Structure 1
């Protein structure tokens, strides 16, 4: 079985226009898909990523206009991190000052330089300085030169009561390996270029997390295709006593979902068919795309969605 790391991370935001502005203009990501929450079509589902929307580059949002703030805590994804060239953290610290972005100072984690920050709705994020990332392709926007652009996801930090069973799923089902420990923080990695790192922080006795604005809704892990996804589902049941939902067609990937032992919602998403299945790659994210079952309601859906421009 081949293992590929993180496919995407999905979080909850406030007003859609502000969410779009921050991730495309301030961070310089590409809007690779503009669609709706298939289970709640009155809400956008916005996908941000690299030039082609590769798995491992994607951070998605359900933006709700009047969402109450969430709270990081036990059973939640504490932080989502992006990869940038190692020499670019100074550029980003200066840009965050210019743009009024809440941020910390550069710190070291497992030998890497990390700059933490938050988006306008409280999502906890970080930039990780990555050797040789400057040689990789980059999506660029005004004000962010290619040599400093974000190259995709680095990974996530999960906060759970006890991380042993969560770690066992990462290693046994998703093909990660434990690579380092620092107190209560354990690092797991794959050989994927993007979305290759999961840090698990065990912190017994903390308050549970509360879903809301700034919260991560779920973390999705990659499966090459339906057959590999089915193998993972079988291993979850037989080796870990965990059962997934039925497979759901999300147009751009096919997914199953389950709660890992620490309470965090995990998804397994196929790499295929990808984001160019319903619009050309050079115009990704420009038009509102709907699944076939919602097309008859397009007029009503468009009338109720907030303006993005």
Structure 2
């Protein structure tokens, strides 16, 4: 089966303007799409990624100015990690100090230098030094190309037990166990960006509570509809998972299921991509709405807050 790394990660946030400022100015990501939550068009859905919004680079948010904070616990994504050039961790540490951003001292995790920090809403993030190049990293801000975030390194899931989730990672998404450190097990699948998932098994504990700073779901890549359908069939027949019908998200087509550890997983197609409704050069500059909401544009724009 083809290795399928991360497609995107979606989280909750607080103030939308603060969210944009942090991810575009401090982290130097590109705002590749500004749209709305299709299920609640009174709130934004903001997408950040590399210069093209490539699968494996995109972190998205549902920001709500007065959102209550989430609570960390099992059954959720504990940490989302980005890949940066191996020699850039020191540069990023200085950048965080200059910006007054609280962060931990860099450590060695699974043999890689890792710098952990939180965004203004408390979302747990990390930068991991890798030997790969910067790919299509966005350089339209003030982060030099030689230090720019390339995309995702991977995610860490906090679970009561690892084995049931591991079975799906290996059998459906093509991951293999590569190493262990304490209660954490790392899986990789050679997919490049987004090719690592770490399972941290801690036994029974409080369940996570959704809110600002927590992750709503993680999405894995499917090349196209046929590849997605094959994974759905495997999930249902070999693992007894209940998977939703396919949903059109304009920029990809998605199915969802709750994996055994409680984390919401999505399988998203690589196609059609973010340039389907605006040019690659102007990604993220205008509010884009799905066809069913376009007739309500004036009303929607009237209630959405300014982003700058």
TM-score scaled by length of structure 1? 0.98
SS of alignment partner, residue 46 of structure 2: strand
Gaps of 5+ in 1: none
Report Cα offsets for 1:84-136 as digits up to 9, x if no partner. Answer: 000100110111011111100000111000000000000000000001335x3
Contact kept, 8 Å, 1:158 with 1:201, in 2: the verdict is yes
Q: Specify the SS of the correspondent of 2:190.
A: coil
Q: State how far apart, in whole Å, the 1-side matches of 2:267 and 2:57 are.
A: 16
Deviation at 1:143, TM superposition (A): 3.2
In 2, the alpha carbon distance for the partners of 1:126 and 1:33 equals: 23
Contact 1:70 1:209 in 2 (8 A): yes
- State the match for 2:105 in structure 1: 105
* 2:262 equivalent in structure 1: 263
Pick which of 242-251 and 139-148 moved more.
Answer: 139-148
Any conservation in 2 of the 1:86–1:133 contact (CA below 8 Å)? no
Partner of 1:24: 24
Deviation of the 1:300 alpha carbon? 0.4
User: In structure 2, what is the equivalent of residue 178 of structure 1?
Assistant: 177
The secondary structure found in structure 1 opposite 2:65 is: coil
For residue 192 of structure 1, what is the aligned residue in structure 2? 191
8 A Cα contact 1:5 1:195, kept in partner: yes
Give the length in aligned residue pairs: 308
Question: How many Å apart are 1:142 and its aligned residue?
Answer: 4.2
Alpha-carbon RMSD: 0.9
Q: Which residue of 2 aligns with 1:250?
A: 249
Alpha-carbon distance between aligned partners in 1 of 2:293 and 2:137, rounded to the nearest angstrom: 34
For structure 2, which runs of at least 5 residues remain unmatched after alignment?
Answer: none
State the shift of 1:21 in Å.
0.4
For residue 294 of structure 1, what is the aligned residue in structure 2? 293
Matched with 2:76 is: 76
* Equivalent position of 1:308 in the other structure: 307
Q: Secondary structure at the match of 2:174?
A: coil
Runs of 4+ in 1 over 6 A off after TM superposition: none
Distance, in Å, in 2 between the alignment partners of 1:276 and 1:23 is: 20
> Secondary structure in 1 aligned to 2:296?
helix
Q: Secondary structure at the match of 1:133?
A: coil
Q: Distance in 2 between matches of 1:44 and 1:78?
A: 23
Using the alignment, how far apart are the partners of 2:143 and 2:234 within structure 1? 43
- CA drift of 1:208 comes to 1.2
Distance 2:171 2:41 in 1: 36
CA contact (8 A) 2:83 2:149 kept: yes
Instruction: Give the match for residue 85 of structure 1.
Output: 85
